[in-house]
Structure 1
Amino acid sequence: MSLYEASFRVRHECPYREISERHPDLTIREWYLSDCQVIEITAPGDPSDELIAEIDAIGTVLHESVDETGLHVVTQSCLCSLEDSIIERFESHNCLYQPPTVHRQGWEHYTVIAFDEGDVRALLRDLEADRDIEVLSKTSIAEQEIPHSMLAPVDRLFEDVTERQLAALRLALESGYYEQPRKTSMRALADMTAVARSTYEEHLRKAENKLLTNAGQFLRLVNASSTADPLAVNTGRSDEQAAD
């Protein structure tokens, strides 16, 4: 079984793309979160007053610095709604979006991965219908070539996990509950909180279940082309040898 990767660039109305068109030396990287975007902006040299003003208008500045390599800014913004967005089109064609989106010289650059080449073709036809698009590459990915940089978006991994469930999961992780051997117990973890053991355990189990469920599509990608089952019975070798 093969995977298919497509990289392309598009033009459509978007403030980040338009800024990159007005400032061709600028590179903007965009990550989508549940209710906002996080934007990383880099540019060589000292920034102009005009550029600084445009950046300030984008959203809340989380970090800003200028050094010998140029300008570095990270902002958080809610300017672009994700409703009826290009990301939703990727999902409707069973294509997995690979962040970040890169805005440079008036173009938005995207990469998607799919299990069926027909899904990639259908997506590209859909996008060509209402925006300028240039396909940069479209390749088949063998098992050995699946990129390790193919990271899952954080908001997708933690989708539907509540704040209490996240707090329970973080406490367990930082206390060594998932280490081998375990450094703490469920009772000890619950004693560190203001809730009963049964309540804490419920929060933790729900967090684990949701996290693994959300990670399922990415696990499937990693094992998409595997032909060998590492858990299959391997005669002639002891458990100690298999563990080496």
Structure 2
Amino acid sequence: MSLYEASFRVRHECPYREISEHYPDLTIREWYLSDCQVIEITSSESPSEDLLDEIDRLGTILHRSVDDSGLHVVTQSCLCSLEDSIIERFEEYNCLYQPPTIHRQGWEHYSVIAFDERDVRALLNDLEADRNVDVLSKTAITEQEIPHSMLAPVDQLFDDVTERQLAALRLALESGYYEQPRKTSLRDLAEQTAVARSTYEEHLRKAENKLLTNAGQFLRLVTATSTGNPLKVDRTQQVEGTAD
């Protein structure tokens, strides 16, 4: 099975894109977290007062420095609705978004991974209907390691896992429940909490199920270029081994 990686840039109305167009020395990197956006702004040039004022309006400043190496700012802002957003379009076409989005010189740069080249082609055709799209590269990934950029974002792995389920999972992990041989039991773990064993086990199983479900798309990508099934029994070797 092959994977396909596509990199492209788009133009449409967006405050980050507009700032990067007005200040061509800027690079803006945008990450979507579960409840906010984190923006990193860098430039090798010293910023003007007008630029600093525009940055102040983007959100809460978490870090700002201006020195001989230039400008470095990290901001946090509320997460605007992603309904009908470009990120949702990626999901509609079975394309896995690779953060961050990079805004540079008036363009938004994106990278996605897909199992089928037709999905990438359909996604780009859809985007071209209402955006100026410039395809930078489309590459088949075959018989090679998945790039490190495919590492799963933590917020996606733990999406929809409740605080109680996370607490149950952490207690089990830190107590050696997942080691071989196990260093504790469900009864012992439950006794360390204020809930019954059945309740604790329910929290733990739900956490495990959600975590594995969320990790599923990344697991399929990591194993997509593998040849054969290492768990499948080779009957020929088994017979030969018996004969020996």
Q: What are the within-5 Å matches in structure 2 for residues 23-38 of structure 1?
A: 23-38=23-38
- Separation in 1 of the partners of 2:68 and 2:231? 52
> Which has the higher Rg, Structure 1 or Structure 2?
2
Counterpart residue number, 1:241 = none
Deviations 1:94-133 (A, max 9, x none): 1111111111111100011111111111111111111111
Aligned to 1:7: 7
What is the aligned partner in structure 1 of residue 119 from structure 2? 119
Between stretches 48-57 and 115-124, larger displacement belongs to: 48-57
Pairing 1:225-244 to 2, within 5 Å after superposition: 225-233=225-233
Q: Is the 8 A contact 1:102 1:108 kept in 2?
A: yes
SS class of match (2:199): helix
Deviations 1:173-193 (A, max 9, x none): 334433444444433433332
Q: Is contact 2:35–2:79 with CA below 8 Å preserved after alignment?
A: no
* C-alpha RMSD of matched pairs (Å): 2.3
Instruction: Report deviation, 1:141.
Output: 0.8
Distance 1:42 1:205, change over 3 A: same
1:54: which partner in 2? 54
> Would you say 1:99 and 2:99 are equivalent positions?
yes
Instruction: Assess, with a 3 A threshold, how the Cα gap between structure 1 residues 227 and 79 changes in structure 2: closer, same or farther.
Output: closer
Q: In the alignment, is the contact (CA less than 8 A) between 1:143 and 1:224 conserved in 2?
A: no
Change (3 A) 1:177 1:63: farther
3-state SS in 2 of match to 1:58: coil
Which position in structure 1 is the counterpart of 2:240?
Answer: none
CA separation of 1:178 and 1:68: change in aligned 2, threshold 3 A: farther
1:211 equivalent to 2:211? Answer yes
- Report how many aligned residue pairs link the two structures: 238
| Identity among equivalent pairs (%) | 82
Letter in 2 for 1:158: F
